[in-house]
Structure formats: structure tokens, C-alpha cells
């Protein structure tokens, strides 16, 4: 009698765990439907068989009962551990998605080092120069914060753009400025020793524009485009910054095709949303947020971009190492300018640090930034191939943890799990190709952000733009 009670309790507990497991797998679409129901059906049959044995054939031997009890114990343990493992991955992906909601900006009140102005109270007696024409929305957020804190409006004068702002401060035309910190490096490059000659009285952290919203209409097996914005620095990916790497990854799940398009950061473009005269380098579009970069590229190539991924290339080295390295096809021998690495022609196995150096080099390459963009696409190809392997999919937790630090994306969990399930079900041999936007080097073109500077640009060739556009359409159809 006592042994039958143990058997019945085992069946009852196993059934409860099974119901939770059934709900969990189906709620989060874990595993392709075929494999999901094979697994669930197998467990159900074992529980059903033991139940019939206990409730219908009460004379089952001790050995048979012990065998089923042990089996159900291990199955329930497996279910619990599987849910724990998968739930960790799901939570990590949700954290990555939550990071996409807003971009953070730092706005600072800046004065000369020798200025008698020391506190925010001192600013009440002067006019603070602002770049209202260029950055009105963010400036208004800071002015509202100031008014809420100090119960009064700040006296301001509009200097138009941040370059003029910095120049006016250095030459003494104004005593204080409100600076969007994303433009500090630009001032350091153009206004002699700007950071060395100035100091910050106070910095406000504000939320920038809402990021690009994902296309809810991307259905299963439908092709989609992902904008990869690479930041070649350490730091918080939520911070708005220039985009050093600009790739479009076009994915055709139905035909198993991926096309990686590289766009040089110096490509001369019209920055979307700032007017017809807002012409500048593509990399400068990132200073206005990832959505501005996306709209700028959509306008340039006449395509739709469905998702984005903002990547910190310096911490992405951790992911490459976690993957056990990547294989890259190098078309031409070169060494890096710092002499750290030599890359022979042909297939090369690379760890994270090698891949980063390979992606950064441009000075020892014939076409400079264009060749660098092609190499960045080759590294991305190596990463994608490794990510699509079955062993990598089974190590998803570790990969997701690294991605949490090095990737921001608005691609939802449902689309990620759909891609993973598709690969598990068919194990496609993806055909990955790449293409690069080409053009002519140019100087003297008007710069929206740095109008007095003679910047190096790449004026995209119209034929190349058309070829890029057609290549993406062909891949996705």
C-alpha cells in the first residue's frame, strides 16, 4: 500500500512538471514544432504508461515500479533544468530588447578653464550659447530640467551649430555654452585643444529620441534587412555616438541566403530629417541617433530596414573568443600599421583580437576605408557562420550573456527564436555573400556639422548605389 502511494505521488508530481513544461515550450516556441511535440509526446507516453501500470495493473513488480519512478525522476529533473536554462536565455534577450527603448545623451554646461564662472548659480548672470538650430529637441529637455531645478528660465542665445559654439567659447565671444557631449570629439578635432582649455560646470543626462521601431509585419520566412551600426570604442551602447561601421545584413530565410552590404563611414549623404542642406559624412548621422542613420541609409539606397543592431566592436571580441574563433577569407596579404599582425592571403583562423585588428586596418589597404568595410563584412560573415552552427545554438546562454554587453537590438525574441528553430529543423547551408558601396574620394564638399572644415568624403557612385539596391532586392526575393 505504502509503495503504491509513492508511485501515485511520483505520477502526480511528474504530471504537474510536465504540464508546466508543456506550457513553457509552447509559450516561448522553444524547438521547432515537430521536435517539440515528439519530445512532449515521448514524456507523455511514459507518464501515461506508468499511470496505467499503477492504476490498472496493481501487481506490477517492485523492479518495474522502481524503474519507472527513477525514469520519471530523471525526466522531471531534465524538464526543470531545461526550463531554468532556457529561462535564463529568454531573460537575457528581454534585457537586450529593453535597452533599445531610448538612447541616452549627456549635455554639459562648459566654460573656459580660467573663467570666473564656477557654479550653476553663476550662469544666471550670463547668456549661455546654445546650438538650437541643430539640436533644439535635446536642448529644450535640458532647459526644462534647469527651470524645474532653479525655478527660473536660463538666459540663452542661439549660435546655430556646435562648431560655432566651440569656436565662440575659445575666442572669448561667449562665456558659457551648452554642449551635447556627442560633439566634443568633433570640437577636439577642429577647435585646437578644446577639452584641454575648457571645463564642465554641470552635466545633465537626458533621454534622446525613441529608437527605431521594429517592423511588426516581418512574417515567418519573409526576408528582412538589419542595419548593423558598429561603435569602435568601449562604453555604453545606449549612448548616442558616431557610427564607425555601417553594414546592412539582408536575410532570406526561405532560400537560405544572406547578403552583407558595407557602406564606408565617410560616404557623403543627406542626413535624414535635418533638411535638404544637411549633407555630411554618414558617420555623423549617428550623432543624431540610430533612427537618423537608418532613415539616411534607407533614403540613400531606396530600401526598407526592418531591424537594427548596435554593436560595440571592441567588446565583440569576447563573443568571437567564446565561439572558439572564426574563419575569415582574406583576399590580399597585408600587415597592420602597428605591426601587431600580418594577414596572409587565404583562409585565416582568427581569435577576437586578431579579428578586431583585421577589421580596423585601412592604411595598408589599396582602397582604404572601402577595403576596411569589406573586411568588416568578412568578419561579420565569419561570426554569422559560427552563430548558425548547431553547437553554437546549444550554447545560447553564454552567447546571450556576451551579447548583453556588446549588442543593442530591436529584433524581438519571437524573430530570434524563429530563426534558431528554422536552423535546428533544417540545418541550412547558408549562402553568404557581400557587396560594398563604391565612389570617389572628395574634399571640399559642404559639411553640415563642420562647415568651416575641409573634410575627406567619399562621393558615392550612382551606378554603385543602383547595384547595391538591386543586389539587396535580388537577395531578398
Q: What is the pLDDT of residues 99-120, one digit of tens each?
A: 665 567 899 999 999 999 999 9
Please, are residues 284 and 448 in contact by the beta-carbon 8 Å criterion?
yes
Measured in residues, the chain has a length of 477
Which residue in 326, 317, 316, 361 sits closest to 342, CA to CA?
A: 361
Quote helix, strand, coil % in the chain, to nearest 5.
50, 20, 30
Angle value at C-alpha 14, between 55 and 57, nearest 5 degrees: 15
Dihedral (C-alpha) 163, 165, 167, 171: value to the nearest 10 degrees?
180
Task: Give 396's pLDDT tier (boundaries 50, 70, 90).
Answer: confident
User: Does the structure show a pLDDT above 80 at 233?
Assistant: no
Angle value at C-alpha 101, between 136 and 384, nearest 5 degrees: 120
Count Cβ atoms below 10 Å from residue 356 Cβ, excluding itself.
20
DSSP state, residue 206:
E
**Burial zone of 394 (CB within 10 Å; 0-12 exposed, 13-18 middle, 19+ buried):** exposed
User: Does the structure show a pLDDT above 80 at 59?
Assistant: no
CA 353 and chain centroid, separation: 20
Place of cell 557623403: 268
Give the pLDDT mean for 74-89.
93
Query: Could you tell me which residue, 217 or 2, shows the higher pLDDT?
Result: 217
Please, are residues 356 and 362 in contact by the beta-carbon 8 Å criterion?
no
Whole-model pTM?
0.87
Q: What is the pLDDT of residues 252-296, one digit of tens each?
A: 999 999 999 999 999 999 999 888 889 999 999 998 888 999 999
Instruction: Compute the distance between CA of residue 333 and CA of residue 138 in angstroms, rounded to an integer.
Output: 47
Place of cell 554587453: 405
Instruction: Compute the distance between CA of residue 304 and CA of residue 291 in angstroms, rounded to an integer.
Output: 12
Q: Report how far apart the first and last C-alpha atoms of the chain are (Å, whole number).
A: 67
Instruction: Compute the distance between CA of residue 162 and CA of residue 467 in angstroms, rounded to an integer.
Output: 36
Tell me what percent of the residues of the chain surpass a pLDDT of 70.
Answer: 93
Tell me what percent of the residues of the chain surpass a pLDDT of 90.
Answer: 62
Poorest-pLDDT segment among 105-119, 180-194, 462-476: 180-194
Q: What is the pLDDT of residue 476?
A: 97
Q: If you write DSSP's letter for every residue of 147-196 in order, what string do you get?
A: HHHHSSPPPEEE-SSHHHHHHHHHTTS-SEEEEEGGGHHHHHHHSTTHHH
Place of cell 557581400: 434
> How is residue 288 written as a grid cell?
543624431
**Which residues, 6+ apart, have CB-to-CB distance to 118 below 8 Å?**
201
User: Does the structure show a pLDDT above 60 at 1?
Assistant: no
User: Does the structure show a pLDDT above 90 at 82?
Assistant: yes
Residue 98 Cα distances to 47, 91, 308, 467, angstroms: 39, 10, 14, 36
- Radius of gyration of the chain measured on its C-alpha atoms: 28
Q: What is the pLDDT of residue 55?
A: 76
Poorest-pLDDT segment among 8-17, 77-86, 205-214: 205-214
User: Does the structure show a pLDDT above 60 at 189?
Assistant: yes
User: Does the structure show a pLDDT above 70 at 398?
Assistant: yes
DSSP state, residue 339:
S
Task: Give 7's pLDDT tier (boundaries 50, 70, 90).
Answer: confident
> How is residue 318 written as a grid cell?
569576447
> How is residue 90 written as a grid cell?
529568454
Sign of CA dihedral 374, 375, 378, 379: negative
User: Does the structure show a pLDDT above 80 at 216?
Assistant: no
Instruction: Compute the distance between CA of residue 163 and CA of residue 134 in angstroms, rounded to an integer.
Output: 11
Average pLDDT value over all residues in the chain? 89
Which residue in 472, 473, 476, 94 sits closest to 247, CA to CA?
A: 472
Q: What is the pLDDT of residue 342?
A: 96
Q: What is the pLDDT of residues 409-430, one digit of tens each?
A: 888 888 988 988 888 888 788 9
User: Does the structure show a pLDDT above 60 at 207?
Assistant: yes
Sign of CA dihedral 154, 156, 161, 164: negative
β-pair partners for 436: 262
Amino acid at each position: 500500500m505504502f509503495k503504491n502511494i509513492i508511485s501515485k505521488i511520483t505520477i502526480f508530481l511528474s504530471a504537474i512538471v510536465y504540464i508546466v513544461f508543456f506550457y513553457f515550450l509552447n509559450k516561448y516556441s522553444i524547438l521547432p514544432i515537430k521536435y517539440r511535440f515528439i519530445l512532449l509526446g515521448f514524456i507523455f507516453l511514459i507518464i501515461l504508461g506508468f499511470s496505467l501500470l499503477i492504476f490498472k495493473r496493481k501487481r506490477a513488480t517492485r523492479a518495474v515500479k522502481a524503474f519507472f519512478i527513477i525514469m520519471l525522476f530523471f525526466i522531471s529533473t531534465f524538464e526543470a533544468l531545461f526550463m531554468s536554462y532556457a529561462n535564463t536565455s529568454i531573460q537575457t534577450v528581454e534585457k537586450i530588447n529593453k535597452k533599445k527603448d531610448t538612447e541616452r545623451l549627456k549635455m554639459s554646461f562648459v566654460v573656459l578653464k580660467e573663467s570666473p564662472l564656477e557654479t550653476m548659480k553663476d550662469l544666471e548672470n550670463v547668456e549661455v550659447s546654445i546650438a538650437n538650430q541643430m539640436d533644439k529637441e535635446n536642448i529644450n529637455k535640458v532647459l526644462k530640467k534647469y527651470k524645474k531645478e532653479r525655478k527660473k528660465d536660463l538666459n540663452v542665445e542661439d549660435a546655430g551649430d556646435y562648431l560655432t559654439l566651440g569656436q565662440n567659447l575659445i575666442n572669448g565671444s561667449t562665456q558659457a555654452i551648452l554642449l551635447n557631449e556627442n560633439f566634443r570629439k568633433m570640437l577636439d578635432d577642429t577647435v585646437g585643444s578644446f577639452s584641454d582649455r575648457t571645463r564642465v560646470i554641470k552635466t545633465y543626462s537626458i533621454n534622446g529620441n525613441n529608437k527605431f521601431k521594429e517592423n511588426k509585419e516581418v512574417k515567418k520566412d519573409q526576408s528582412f534587412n538589419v542595419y548593423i551600426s558598429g561603435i569602435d570604442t568601449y562604453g555604453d551602447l545606449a549612448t548616442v555616438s558616431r557610427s564607425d561601421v555601417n553594414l546592412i545584413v539582408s536575410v532570406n530565410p526561405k532560400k537560405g541566403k544572406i547578403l552583407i552590404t558595407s557602406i564606408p563611414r565617410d560616404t557623403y549623404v543627406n542626413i535624414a530629417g535635418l533638411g535638404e542642406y544637411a549633407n555630411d559624412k554618414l558617420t555623423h548621422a549617428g550623432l543624431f541617433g540610430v533612427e537618423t542613420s537608418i532613415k539616411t541609409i534607407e533614403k540613400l539606397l531606396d530600401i526598407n530596414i526592418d531591424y537594427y543592431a548596435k554593436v560595440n566592436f571592441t567588446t565583440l571580441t569576447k563573443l568571437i573568443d567564446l565561439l572558439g574563433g572564426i574563419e575569415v577569407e582574406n583576399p590580399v596579404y597585408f600587415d597592420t600599421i602597428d605591426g601587431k599582425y600580418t594577414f596572409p592571403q587565404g583562409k585565416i583562423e582568427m581569435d577576437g583580437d586578431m579579428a578586431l585588428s583585421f577589421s580596423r586596418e585601412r592604411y595598408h589597404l589599396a582602397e582604404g576605408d572601402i577595403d576596411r568595410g569589406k573586411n568588416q563584412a568578412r568578419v561579420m560573415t565569419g561570426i554569422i557562420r559560427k552563430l548558425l552552427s548547431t553547437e553554437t545554438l546549444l550554447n545560447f546562454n553564454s552567447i546571450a550573456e556576451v551579447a548583453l554587453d556588446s549588442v543593442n537590438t530591436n529584433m524581438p525574441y519571437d524573430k530570434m527564436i524563429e530563426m534558431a528553430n528554422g536552423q535546428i529543423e533544417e540545418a541550412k547551408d547558408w549562402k553568404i555573400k557581400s557587396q560594398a558601396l563604391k565612389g570617389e574620394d572628395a574634399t571640399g564638399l559642404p559639411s553640415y556639422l563642420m562647415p568651416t572644415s575641409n573634410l575627406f568624403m567619399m562621393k558615392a557612385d550612382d551606378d554603385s548605389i543602383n547595384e547595391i539596391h538591386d543586389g539587396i532586392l535580388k537577395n531578398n526575393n
